[in-house]
Structure formats: structure tokens, C-alpha cells
Structure 1
Amino acid sequence: MSIWTRIAEALSALAGGEPLSVVFDRLRGASAPEQSVGFTIAVLALGAKMAKADGTVTRDEVTAFRRIFTFPEGEEAHAARVFNLARQDVAGFDAYARKIARLFNPEGRRICADDHHVLVDILEALFQIAIADGSYHPGEDAFLRHVAEEFGLDEACFRIVRSRLVDGAPRDPYDVLGLPHGASKAEARRAWKQLVRDTHPDVMSARGVPPEALKLAERRLQLINEAWRQISAREAA
């Protein structure tokens, strides 16, 4: 059974008039396949909310979903329904973010970038949607910062994710690797190797990232490798 079939079943379970956000409550404590459903619905739903953060929904932002998710023939309607239900829901994006946080972080602990948590993956996917139209709007920055706070991600985590994905954002190679500026070359090498391992598709799948969303790791890996190249070049100079 494909993830999109499971999403269709989750949507069909909604009683008349129930908002999409109810799905997140029903998925709490669910097994791994249903957690994958939760991940995909979360990105689509928050993406729909964020698409209006800069005042307009562009074709590029819609296309970004197709870069993150692979829609089998005939399944696009399920994704479109999630997108439209989220846009129509009167609940604000902060309410969605809180429900998603309870789904993937029920203990409510603080999360940093080094945790490689599924909520960090969701934030990265949202960043990719935000920059899909070639710009990064202040409204999108405020939206994503608020989502990160609701997720329980610390400020450093938000800055690291932004630096990895947004062109023109302050990007320090030590930040990209999640290191303090005084870190040694050996520490940087260890951090780089760990991040490369953690970005492997098998590892991301184990964190609950569905196969449809593994494309979001490609740019992250490029920037991680570039950060290590810069640090090793500085140390060699």
C-alpha cells in the first residue's frame, strides 16, 4: 500500500466538517508507516499555510512540492486535497505546528540541529518550499522561525538550517556543521563525517522520513561537504 493510499484513508476518516489538523491527533503513538503519513501531511499542510506567508502562492512553490515528493500517476489528487484542506482550515499555522510537535516530540524536549530529528527534516522541507520561487520573503522567515519555536527547535538550530538552504543567509561553515568557532580541524572532520552518515537515505528513513521526501537531503549534503572543504582549506593555509 503506497503512502498516498494511506493518506487517502486518513483523510476519508475525517467526519464531515472536521479539520485536517485532527489527523495529527489520531496519528499520535502510531506505528512507523503511519508516522510516515504524518510527516508527509505535515509538510503539505504547513507548506500550504506558508505559501501565503509572503502574500502569494506561486507556481514555483507548488512545483517545490513535486521536487520533495514523487507523486505516482493518479495520486496528485490526494496531495492537492491535503493542500486545500489546510488552506481552508481556520486554525492558524501555529496550531498545526503544535500538533505536529506533539506527534513527533511528545515529551516536549528541546531539539538542536545535532539531534537529526524528524522535526528538523520537516523544517528543512519547508525552507525548500519557501525558496522555490527564487526569493526568501521576511514573512516566510517569520513564519519558519515561529514554526521552529513551536517544534521546540533552539535558535541555533534555526540559524543552521537557514544557513544551509537560503542563498544570501549568513553562512559560516562552522554553523553548517553545528560547531563552535573554536572547534579543531579534527572535531570538524568528525562532525562532517557524522553529518554525512546521518544524511544517508537509510538513516533518514529510520527517522521516519518517507522515501518520497528523501530528496530534501541533497542540498543539505552539498552544503555539509562545502563547509568541510572550507574549514580544511583554512586549516591547511
Structure 2
Amino acid sequence: MSIWSRISEALSALASGETLASVFDRLRTPPERTVAFAIAVIALGAKMAKADGQVTRDEVTAFREVFQIARDDEAGAAKVFNLARQDVAGFEEYAKRIKVMFGEDEATLNDLLEGLFHIAVADGVYHPNEDIFLSEVATIFGLPEREFNTLRSRFVPDAKPDPYAVLGVTPETPLPEIRKVWRAKVREMHPDRMVARGVPQEAIKLAEKRLTDVNDAWEQIQREAA
């Protein structure tokens, strides 16, 4: 059974009058976390689309890059997106329930926020309202400010990424310590670890860009230190 079939089952279980936000109160056990992750990205992506006032073709394409959606599964993904857009609950309510659902699993929440950044900048414009949206989501998730700044420095095309910000360190951090941080981040991006965190196979592609950015940052820091 594909993840999209499982998502459709989760939506079908909603009782009359329940909103999509109710799904996040149920999908907490490990086998359901991949479904929860996918629904969370779609739902918050839909809320974010309202932040800049439009859904562009590039954003839709970006979403397809995060999740490989077969043509037969497009209706299921669209249903989640539309339910989220039509839901009167604000994105803050979604983010709070998602935070409860994943608990203190900071790595998965970071993965989720990364997917939203990927979608936000897909059209080449990082709207100020998208920045506010993502910053508030990160705060609700309880992610440290440095994690948000690290993601922003990697994705937002308004300046050349700071290699230290990408790794979440400072220029004053000793090189051996930076090496430890770099190695830890590379380990976190191993596909097996991401799957164990509840990230669907369909979204593992998120780690490809992250790994490239992290390795590029480390190489640049080494060159500067030489």
C-alpha cells in the first residue's frame, strides 16, 4: 500500500465535522509517522501558500520534488491540500498539533521545516510573509533560532550562504569542533536514520541538497583555515 493510500485512509477516518487538524492527534505511533510527516508538509504547505497569496507552478513542482507523487495518487494529495486551505483553523493550530505529534523529535521537525523552505523558494522569491510564517512555525516547533537561521542561509537566495551558518557554528568555533558538527550532520542525513525518524521514502530526496550544502560549507571553511 502506497503512502498516499494510507493518507486517504487517514482522511476517510475523519468523523463528520472534524477538520484535517484532527488527524495530527491520532498519528503518533512509529508506523503512522511517515503518513503524519507527509500530511504535515502538505497541510502547512497549503497554509504557507496563503501567506504569499498564491500557489505558483514552481511551488507545485517543488512539492513534487519533495514527494514523488504518481498520477493515480494526485487526487489524494490535492484533497489534503484543499482541506488545509479551506480549514478555518490557522497554521498556528496545525503547527502546535504537529509539535505534540512529534514531541521532542527535533530532527524530524527540522526535516519538515526544510521541506517547507524548499517549497517557499521554488518560485525564486522568498516573500516576507513566508519568512514570518516559517519563523513562527519554527518557534512553535521549539527549534532553536540557530536551526532556523541555518535553514534560511541555505535556501533564501538573497545572499551567498555563510558556511558557518550552514553548519550552525561561528567563525570562532575551533576547527576540530566544526569537524565534529559536520560529521554529525552527515550521519543525520543517512537515509536509514531519516526513515527511522518517520520521514517517508518519498521525501528522502530532501537530504540530497542538505548533504551538498553541508559538505560545501565544510570544504569552504577548511580552505579558509588553510
On whether the aligned pair clears a TM of 0.5, the verdict is yes
CA distance in structure 1 between the aligned counterparts of 2:179 and 2:99, rounded to whole angstroms: 32
Q: Deviations over 1:97-132 (max 9, x none)?
A: 000000001xxx5x8xxx5x1000000000001001
Contact residue 148 and residue 158 of structure 1 kept, 8 A: yes
1:35 alignment partner AA: R
Identical amino acids, percent of aligned pairs: 60
Q: Deviations over 1:38-79 (max 9, x none)?
A: 000000000000011111111111111100001124111110
Matches within 5 A, 1:218-233: 218-233=208-223
CA distance in structure 1 between the aligned counterparts of 2:224 and 2:194, rounded to whole angstroms: 31
Matches within 5 A, 1:47-86: 47-86=45-84
CA distance in structure 2 between the aligned counterparts of 1:75 and 1:213, rounded to whole angstroms: 15
* Alpha carbons of structure 1 residues 169 and 41: separation in structure 2 relative to 1, 3 Å: farther
Contact residue 104 and residue 118 of structure 1 kept, 8 A: yes
CA distance in structure 2 between the aligned counterparts of 1:26 and 1:189, rounded to whole angstroms: 40
Instruction: Quote the offset at 1:16 in angstroms.
Output: 2.2
Contact residue 58 and residue 133 of structure 1 kept, 8 A: yes
Structure 1: gaps (5+ residues): none
CA distance in structure 2 between the aligned counterparts of 1:138 and 1:17, rounded to whole angstroms: 34
Q: State yes or no: 1:212 paired with 2:202.
A: yes
Q: 1:39 aligns with which of 37, 40, 43?
A: 37
CA distance in structure 1 between the aligned counterparts of 2:130 and 2:161, rounded to whole angstroms: 18
Residue of structure 1 in register with 2:5 after alignment: 5
Q: State yes or no: 1:198 paired with 2:208.
A: no
Residue of structure 2 in register with 1:120 after alignment: 110
Contact residue 40 and residue 98 of structure 2 kept, 8 A: yes
Structure 2: gaps (5+ residues): none
Q: State yes or no: 1:24 paired with 2:24.
A: yes
2:197 alignment partner AA: R
Residues 42-51 or 200-209, more deviating = 200-209
Higher relative helix content? 2
Q: State yes or no: 1:95 paired with 2:93.
A: yes
CA distance in structure 1 between the aligned counterparts of 2:175 and 2:158, rounded to whole angstroms: 26
Contact residue 165 and residue 220 of structure 1 kept, 8 A: no
What RMSD over aligned residues (CA atoms) do the two structures have, in Å? 1.4
CA distance in structure 1 between the aligned counterparts of 2:216 and 2:114, rounded to whole angstroms: 18
Instruction: Quote the offset at 1:169 in angstroms.
Output: 4.5
CA distance in structure 1 between the aligned counterparts of 2:16 and 2:159, rounded to whole angstroms: 44
Residue of structure 2 in register with 1:172 after alignment: 162
Instruction: Quote the offset at 1:184 in angstroms.
Output: 1.8
CA distance in structure 2 between the aligned counterparts of 1:193 and 1:155, rounded to whole angstroms: 21
Paired positions, count: 226
CA distance in structure 2 between the aligned counterparts of 1:169 and 1:97, rounded to whole angstroms: 28
3-state SS of the aligned residue for 1:159?
helix
Q: Deviations over 1:162-217 (max 9, x none)?
A: 11222225732122112232112222222212211211211111111110111111
CA distance in structure 2 between the aligned counterparts of 1:85 and 1:73, rounded to whole angstroms: 19
Contact residue 124 and residue 157 of structure 2 kept, 8 A: no
Instruction: Quote the offset at 1:157 in angstroms.
Output: 1.3
TM-score, normalising length: structure 2: 0.95
